[in-house]
Amino acid sequence: MRRIRANAIAILTVAWILGTFYYLWQDNKPQSSPSSAASQTRGRSHGQKVVPGRLEIHREDRTIPLIVSLLGSFDEKAYLAGKQLKPGEDPYREHAFNLQESDRLGSERAIRDTRHYRCASLNYDTELPSTSIIITFHNEARSTLLRTIKSVLIRSPPSLIQEIILIDDFSSDPEDCQLLAQIPKVRCLRNGRREGLIRSRVRGANTASASILTFLDSHCEVNTDWLQPMIQRVKEDHTRVVSPIIDVISLDNFAYLAASADLRGGFDWSLHFKWEQIPIEQKMARSDPTQPIRTPVIAGGIFVMDKSWFNHLGQYDTHMDIWGGENFELSFRVWMCGGSLEILPCSRVGHVFRKRHPYDFPEGNALTYIKNTRRAAEVWMDEYKQYYYSARPSAQGKAFGSIAERLTLRRKLNCKPFRWYMENVYPELRVPEQEAVSSVLKQGGLCLETRGTDSLGLSECRGIGANRPQSQRWELIEPLIRQQDLCLAISAFTVGSKVRMEPCNAKETLKTHFNNISKVL
Ligand code: LR7
Ligand code: MN
């Protein structure tokens, strides 16, 4: 009996070993039928696991001639060798990321396709409009800039790339940009003085010849099929402004890391951008992970927008300087003036996130951010700008230039109030709790009072201070007018509409504006 068991174990062990060898041999076997187009691009590369159904061009013998022809006469080795880290130099000093690692990677590499697997089976129109890619930079490292451009050329259908417009924002070495113009489709515009990313992007947009604009930072790597989903959404509705999920390229070792697919753009009252979880109800309702994610604001650097819509909406506020705030201004404007913002999970672009700015701000970093965000708050945030000033007291009294033109634009475009944005686009942004002010509400010498549970009326004012009856005592907590657990509510802001007492979170609850009350009462 024992012998039989020992034999069985020995047979099983041998079978297991043979099975393992067979599996490993299969896995290393070259792809069969090399003539099929799919297998040409699905081969293993750099030890990466093959992902079925995903197309990626790897550094294989077959694809090198393709890449060479993409670059034309441009000599990438000479370009990269033209600027190298000097021995002993701090690799983080100049760019706030590890330049040594970036240079070591060279001009292109395979990256993991970080999309949800269902993205690979989506279809896009065969006839999509082409786009002008706009990349502004100030003293970008040559290796990151070249990788950005090459990733676009390698991972986009060539017919969709009309041109790549580089705006050199007065970098120290004009050749950083000029040499790149030898690459087919790449154009280089150099600013005669430092303008900042906002005016630079507008300059790029003004010379773009395609009907769709695509903005990128100068240290990105676009991922598989990044462009088609974005162009498709904009083609279907030109008022959509769309962004990819922004993956993380490590500033230390340049590893390409997948970002969470459950995030959207948000902010706090100091106008500080943050990534936040999609609200739980929206998350529960998402049965299809390839669907767009509505976002209150975009991060700002990587997005696709119809060119006529960009122009119609007033491009950017060109009185904003260097860096910062323009993403809020654009986001508020898009939502409030009839468009929408979304993040497309099937589009992925990697970006090197840094901890500090590697460049100088001629007016100082803080003052520039205040100037730009003040302009956004003053033009777009209506009465809500008070919360911006409470959160950022240092902004008060700081110069921000004239906003007359932008106010005229807002009027001309007939944009909705910020209250609408708060209620419809970003209801999750909490308005800070105000200190309650206890008062009476008077009209023509009479005081507003509650009678019983639901009825309201005007009668003679009685008592003062602590002696005032509860029925005539109101707490004003912007934007609510409260008495104990209930708040004043109306169905419409029109004369004659009935004022009632309702739970304070009811939709029709009368939201501030004491002048609205007198209009209604
Ligand atoms: O004076 C300047 N001139 C420029 O041309 C300053 C900057 N730039 C260029 C710069 O070289 C880069 O290509 O402008 C681009 C953006 O500057 P970064 O990379 O220093 O900015 P960031 O990535 O820290 O900042 C994010 O927020 C900015 C607010 O003004 C811009 O909108 C950036 O485009 C934006 N980047 C992204 O959205 C990528 C995702 C990061 C996040 C969150
Ligand atoms: Mn950036």
Cα–Cα distance measured from residue 432 to residue 387, given in angstroms and rounded to the nearest whole number: 7
Q: Is 8 part of any domain?
A: no
Q: Nearest to residue 434, comparing CAs of 472, 402, 476?
A: 476
Same domain as 478, residue 331: no
Ligand 1 atom nearest the C-alpha of 220 is 39
CATH of the domain at 476: 2.80.10.50
Q: Is 251 part of any domain?
A: yes
Nearest CA to ligand 1 atom 19: 217
Q: Is 53 part of any domain?
A: no
CATH of the domain at 274: 3.90.550.10
C-alpha of residue 251 to centroid of ligand 2, in Å: 11
Same domain as 347, residue 442: no
Same domain as 214, residue 322: yes
Give 126-152 as a DSSP string: SS---EEEEEEESS--HHHHHHHHHHH
Task: Quote the number of domains for the chain.
Answer: 2
Q: Is 418 part of any domain?
A: no
Give the residues of the chain that fall short of pLDDT 50: 19-64, 512-516, 518-521
Ligand lying nearest the CA atom of residue 297: 1
Cα–Cα distance measured from residue 442 to residue 472, given in angstroms and rounded to the nearest whole number: 10
Same domain as 442, residue 347: no
Answer whether 247 contacts ligand 1 (Cβ < 6 A): no
Q: Domain span at residue 493?
A: 437-518
Q: Is 119 part of any domain?
A: yes
Answer whether 418 contacts ligand 1 (Cβ < 6 A): no
Q: Is 397 part of any domain?
A: no
ipTM summary value: 0.98
C-alpha of residue 99 to centroid of ligand 2, in Å: 15
- Tokens encoding 377: 């708050």
Within 72-139, residue ranges assigned H as helices are 76-81, 99-105
Residue 61 CB-density burial (10 A; 0-12 exposed, 13-18 middle, 19+ buried) = exposed
Tell me, what's the pLDDT at 320?
98
Answer whether 169 contacts ligand 1 (Cβ < 6 A): yes
Q: 362 preceded by cis ω (within 30°)?
A: no
C-alpha of residue 463 to centroid of ligand 2, in Å: 62
Tell me, what's the pLDDT at 67?
53
Q: Is 52 part of any domain?
A: no
Radius of gyration of the chain (CA): 30
Nearest CA to ligand 1 atom 5: 137
Instruction: Convert 503-520 to b/e letters by CB count within 10 Å (16 or more is b).
Output: eeeeeebbbebeeebeeb
Indicate the residue among 352, 368, 390 that finishes a domain.
Answer: 352
Same domain as 110, residue 234: yes
Tell me, what's the pLDDT at 454?
74
Same domain as 449, residue 301: no
- Whole-model pTM: value is 0.77
Same domain as 242, residue 135: yes
Same domain as 334, residue 447: no
- Alpha carbon dihedral 358, 363, 364, 366, in 10-degree steps, equals -120
Cα–Cα distance measured from residue 516 to residue 45, given in angstroms and rounded to the nearest whole number: 67
Residue 52 CB-density burial (10 A; 0-12 exposed, 13-18 middle, 19+ buried) = exposed
The 10 Å Cβ neighbour count of residue 258 is 15
C-alpha of residue 220 to centroid of ligand 2, in Å: 8
Pocket test for ligand 1, best of 95, 170, 197 (most atoms within 8 A of CB): 197
Tell me, what's the pLDDT at 56?
37
Pocket test for ligand 1, best of 323, 355, 359, 363 (most atoms within 8 A of CB): 323
Q: Is 40 part of any domain?
A: no
Same domain as 457, residue 327: no
Same domain as 333, residue 446: no
Indicate the residue among 352, 381, 409 that finishes a domain.
Answer: 352
Cα–Cα distance measured from residue 444 to residue 449, given in angstroms and rounded to the nearest whole number: 14
Same domain as 255, residue 140: yes
Indicate the residue among 352, 375, 410 that finishes a domain.
Answer: 352
Same domain as 341, residue 222: yes
